[in-house]
Structure 1
Amino acid sequence: MDLDLDHLRSWIGREEAKSEPVTTALVERFDATFGRTGDTTPGAAAPVMIHLCLAPPAAPMDQLGPDGHPARGGFLPPVPLPRRMWAGGSFAFHDDIRIGETVTRRSVIRDVAVKQGRTGTLCFVTVEHRIESGSRHVLTERQDIVYRDLDPPGGPAKAAPPPAPEGTHRVTVAPTAPLLFRYSALTFNGHRIHYDAPYVREVEGYPGLIVHGPLQASQLVHLAERVRGRVPRTFDFRSLSTIFDTADYTLNATEDGDGLKLWTAQRGGPVAMEARATW
């Protein structure tokens, strides 16, 4: 597909700011979803990665596309490719978000680029987020979003990548429907690939519901925090393959110099998300 790259790149520099207070109720729901416990009183440190659940886009129902995402355009450029995924990104953690404070996310489109991949045209959109809690700059995030076409029917079979290794630290996760639904609810994510099984099989052509990229990234950051006893200073990651709800998956970590190498993988499958955390 030919894209009007000049038009899409006119979105570079576009800015948006959204705010939401961090409530005890939200922290309780976040902890319940991730199996965490902690202080939920005002003034306490909120769990790391809760920022992804704050001030999400809230498009009216009549402004949603057929996949459940907000219709193209607005803050993000109107890329005319049907599949949109979280391809990777990075987090730099500067300070804690505090329960009871108002968190503000200041976002800017940094780049729009088009490449040709194995499956056809790919459009990459890079977004930078500055997260403030109260008046403090607590986190910087880079988000890499990729848009691509549907896989052509009857296309050539792809060579299977090798199975992922086991990490020194390993946790098994069951991608149950309640887990995927709860994370979609926490992030107000209407994308149907995470909860609508008939849609994901019959329209998107996937074998099952898809485990969210942000959910996997959050679980890996939490694993890094447990292994080292504190939140990492930086966390960089990229998505390599998809995890479906058809089998359990694992969170893995192993020592890597001054940091940790981390990855997720479906049972018997290749690395799905790879990451590195440093302190």
Structure 2
Amino acid sequence: MHEDLPEETRQTDVMDPARAAALQISLGLPATIETGSPLPPFFHQIYFWDPEPTTRLGRDGHPATGIGLIPDLGLPRRMWAGGGLEFHEPLRAGITAQKRVSVAEISRKEGRTGPLAFVTLKHELFQNDHLCVTEYQDLVYRQDPSPEATKPAAPVAATDEDHCEQADFTSTLLFRYSALTFNGHRIHYDTEYARDIEGYAGLVTHGPLLAQLLMLLAERRMGALKHFTFRATAPLILGETATLCWKENGDMWIRAPDGRQCMKAKAG
């Protein structure tokens, strides 16, 4: 660990039921959450905001590395690559919760497109001194894309699901999800930045938003979740319909209209 950076951060937040209801409405769900209601899985993403002044943000809108838990890795592009969650007890709306975050691992390697840095953060969420959720968040940092470089081919999604649902996205939904999660990443709202700087075909649908939809689908199919893991494998661009796929063994994935796999997950 970098000697000038903290080993752990702690935050406290009240799990405002109005904010959770706003996410439900944004996702096209009825607003059912009130004080005391168990929060749906992954809804904790809309809490524990940690705003930084503009002067402490990177060019992408995220907090710059080197000022918090994550050291300056010298790589400008940040991606939430995936993660894993263990649900011990439900978090409940209207009750104060505590969050502890630490760096579980930092590693580097040389990829097909240049150097990569991998950071895994460990999040622990407590209510009434009970551990409710343990989450591992996997981040990837990389260089800017070279205009001459060939983009790696996305994996092809399976078509043998037992059940599937369609999900469409609008710029309004992307804006609302960014606002509710206090996510300033410009790839979700700044088309020119997403296209010209980070090399995407357009605005990018949030990986955590896709994971959220998969978790809600899994909960509908199997009841309360005990664990969930997911890995982003290709970006889903605004305007593309996502097919959320489910198998009875808990395997899940997201298929884009051209057949590529955008996310792979496992629910249990």
**TM tier relative to shorter chain:** over 0.9
Q: 1:160 to 1:223 in 2, by over 3 A?
A: closer
Q: How far apart are 1:11 and its partner, in Å?
A: 7.8
Look up the equivalent residue of 1:212 and give its one-letter code.
H
Q: Identity of aligned pairs, percent?
A: 38
Match of 1:189 among 183, 187, 204: 183
1:112-123 paired onto structure 2 within 5 Å:
112-123=106-117
Q: 1:49 to 1:264 in 2, by over 3 A?
A: same
Instruction: Name 1:273's counterpart in structure 2.
Output: 263
Q: TM-score scaled by structure 2?
A: 0.93
Instruction: Name 2:237's counterpart in structure 1.
Output: 244
Instruction: Name 1:78's counterpart in structure 2.
Output: 72
Partners in 1 of 2:142 and 2:183 — Cα distance? 19
Partners in 1 of 2:49 and 2:160 — Cα distance? 35
Match of 2:198 among 204, 211, 214: 204
| 1:6-59 alpha-carbon deviations (Å, 9 max, x no partner) | xx6658981001111011211211111222235422112122211111112211
| 1:126-155 alpha-carbon deviations (Å, 9 max, x no partner) | 111111123221110011111011221112
Partners in 2 of 1:157 and 1:66 — Cα distance? 23
Instruction: Name 1:5's counterpart in structure 2.
Output: none
CA contact (8 A) 1:172 1:249 kept: yes
Runs of 4+ off more than 3 Å: 8-13, 156-161
CA contact (8 A) 2:157 2:254 kept: no
Q: How far apart are 1:110 and its partner, in Å?
A: 1.2
Q: 1:159 to 1:98 in 2, by over 3 A?
A: closer
1:59 matched to 2:52: yes
Q: 1:15 to 1:158 in 2, by over 3 A?
A: closer
Query: What secondary structure does 1:125 align onto?
Result: strand
Q: How far apart are 1:64 and its partner, in Å?
A: 1.6
1:139 matched to 2:129: no
Residue segments in structure 1 that go unaligned for 5+ positions in a row: 1-7
Q: How far apart are 1:174 and its partner, in Å?
A: 1.1
Q: 1:17 to 1:159 in 2, by over 3 A?
A: closer
Match of 1:34 among 18, 23, 27: 27
Q: How far apart are 1:97 and its partner, in Å?
A: 0.9
Look up the equivalent residue of 2:52 and give its one-letter code.
A
Look up the equivalent residue of 1:29 and give its one-letter code.
A
Q: 1:137 to 1:119 in 2, by over 3 A?
A: same
1:156 matched to 2:150: yes
Look up the equivalent residue of 1:28 and give its one-letter code.
A
Instruction: Name 1:167's counterpart in structure 2.
Output: 161
CA contact (8 A) 2:155 2:233 kept: no
Instruction: Name 1:68's counterpart in structure 2.
Output: 61
Aligned length: 267
Q: 1:12 to 1:122 in 2, by over 3 A?
A: farther
Q: 1:34 to 1:60 in 2, by over 3 A?
A: same
Partners in 2 of 1:132 and 1:100 — Cα distance? 14
Instruction: Name 1:16's counterpart in structure 2.
Output: 9
Q: TM-score scaled by structure 1?
A: 0.90
Query: What secondary structure does 2:247 align onto?
Result: strand
Query: What secondary structure does 2:121 align onto?
Result: strand
CA contact (8 A) 2:26 2:173 kept: yes
| 1:160-203 alpha-carbon deviations (Å, 9 max, x no partner) | 64344252221111121011111100100111000111221122
CA contact (8 A) 2:7 2:69 kept: yes
Q: How far apart are 1:114 and its partner, in Å?
A: 0.3
Match of 2:251 among 261, 274, 278: 261
